[in-house]
C-alpha cells in the first residue's frame, strides 16, 4: 500500500506547487484565523481544494485531516487517512520567502506509511514510504550519527531554549538554527543537514506527519518530547511536542529535557 500511495502524493505535491506559485506571496489575499491561530491566504485554500479533490477522488475510502478543512469525526472511523498541510510556513509565503512547503502524508491505523514534503521555490521534493527509504529529488538521504550533543546542530525556535525545559535549568551546548516550516525542519534533519530538531509546544499532526516518516526512513528517530512514539489520526490532532534527529542526538536531547 505505501508503494501505491507514494506516486499519488508526489504528483499531488507537484500540482500543489504549481497552484501555490501562481499566487504572488506578498499580494495574495490574506487574513488571520480566529483565536490567534495564525494567517491564512487564498493560496492555502486553493491548494487545499486541489488536494482534497484529487486525493479523495483517487482514494475515496481514505479519511481527511487538513489544516484548512473544518475537522469532524468521520476520519476516526477510517483506517487510512490523508494528513495535509496545504502550505506549511504561511508567514514565509506571505513575506515572499522560499521556505514554505506542501506536506502530505497517509496514515494507516495511526502509522504514517507514505509522505512528501515539497518546497517548490527551492526545487526540493522529500519523499518516503514505510520500509522504502527516504529521498530528496530521488536520491537517498540519511540522518547524521553525531554522538556529542555539545557539537550538534539543532533546529528549534528560541522559546525552546528556556532553562525551565532542561535538566539543571540550562540548555545543552548545542548550536541552534531555525527554519519557519516544521515540515522542512524535519526534512532537513532527514537529509543530514542538521543533527536534530525539536519543538516543545503542542504541535498539529499536519505539521509533523510527513516529516516524521521521512526522518524515520532516513535512519533517524522521531518521538514526542517525552520519548514516546508518535501516533496519528487522533481525536485531538495535536502532539505533545516533537523531538527528531539522528538516533544519538535525538536520544541525548530526550535525556537532557526536564
Binding residue per annotation — 87?
A: yes
State the Cα–Cα distance between residues 174 and 162, nearest whole angstrom: 14
36 CB neighbour count, 10 Å cutoff: 6
Q: Which residues contact 173 (CB under 8 A, 6 or more apart)?
A: 149, 150
Q: Which residues contact 28 (CB under 8 A, 6 or more apart)?
A: 41, 42, 43, 93, 94
Binding residue per annotation — 108?
A: no
| Residue at grid coordinates 530526550 | 254
CA torsion through residues 178, 179, 183, 184, sign: negative
Binding residue per annotation — 236?
A: no
CA distances from 41 to 48, 87, 96, 204, 224 (A): 11, 9, 13, 19, 30
> What SS3 state is found at 122?
helix
> What SS3 state is found at 8?
helix
Binding residue per annotation — 67?
A: yes
Residues within the annotated binding site for Mg(2+)? 67, 85, 87-88, 207
Annotated binding site: 67, 85, 87-88, 207
Amino acid at each position: 500500500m505505501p508503494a501505491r500511495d507514494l506516486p499519488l502524493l508526489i504528483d499531488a505535491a507537484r500540482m500543489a506547487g504549481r497552484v501555490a506559485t501562481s499566487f504572488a506571496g506578498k499580494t495574495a489575499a490574506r487574513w488571520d484565523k480566529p483565536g490567534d491561530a495564525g494567517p491564512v491566504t487564498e493560496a492555502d485554500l486553493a491548494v487545499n481544494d486541489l488536494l482534497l479533490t484529487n486525493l479523495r477522488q483517487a482514494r475515496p475510502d481514505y479519511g481527511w485531516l487538513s489544516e484548512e478543512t473544518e475537522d469532524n469525526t468521520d476520519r476516526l472511523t477510517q483506517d487510512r487517512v490523508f494528513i495535509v498541510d496545504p502550505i506549511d510556513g504561511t508567514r514565509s509565503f506571505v513575506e515572499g520567502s522560499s521556505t514554505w512547503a506542501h506536506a502530505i502524508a497517509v496514515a494507516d491505523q495511526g502509522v504514517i506509511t507514505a509522505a512528501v514534503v515539497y518546497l517548490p521555490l527551492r526545487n526540493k521534493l522529500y519523499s518516503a514510504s514505510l520500509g522504502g527509504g527516504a529521498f530528496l529529488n530521488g536520491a537517498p538521504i540519511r540522518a547524521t550519527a553525531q554522538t556529542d550533543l555539545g557539537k550538534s546542530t539543532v533546529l528549534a525556535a528560541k522559546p525552546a531554549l528556556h532553562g525551565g525545559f532542561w535538566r539543571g535549568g540550562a540548555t545543552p551546548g548545542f548550536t541552534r538554527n531555525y527554519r519557519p516550516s516544521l515540515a522542512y525542519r524535519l526534512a532537513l534533519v532527514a537529509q543530514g543537514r542538521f543533527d536534530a530538531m525539536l519543538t516543545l509546544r503542542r504541535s498539529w499532526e499536519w505539521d509533523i506527519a510527513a516529516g516524521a516518516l521521512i526522518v524515520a526512513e532516513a535512519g533517524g528517530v522521531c518521538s514526542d518530547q517525552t520519548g514516546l512514539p508518535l501516533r496519528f489520526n487522533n481525536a485531538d490532532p495535536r502532539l505533545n511536542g516533537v523531538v527528531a534527529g539522528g538516533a544519538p542526538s535525538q536520544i541525548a536531547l530526550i535525556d537532557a529535557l526536564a
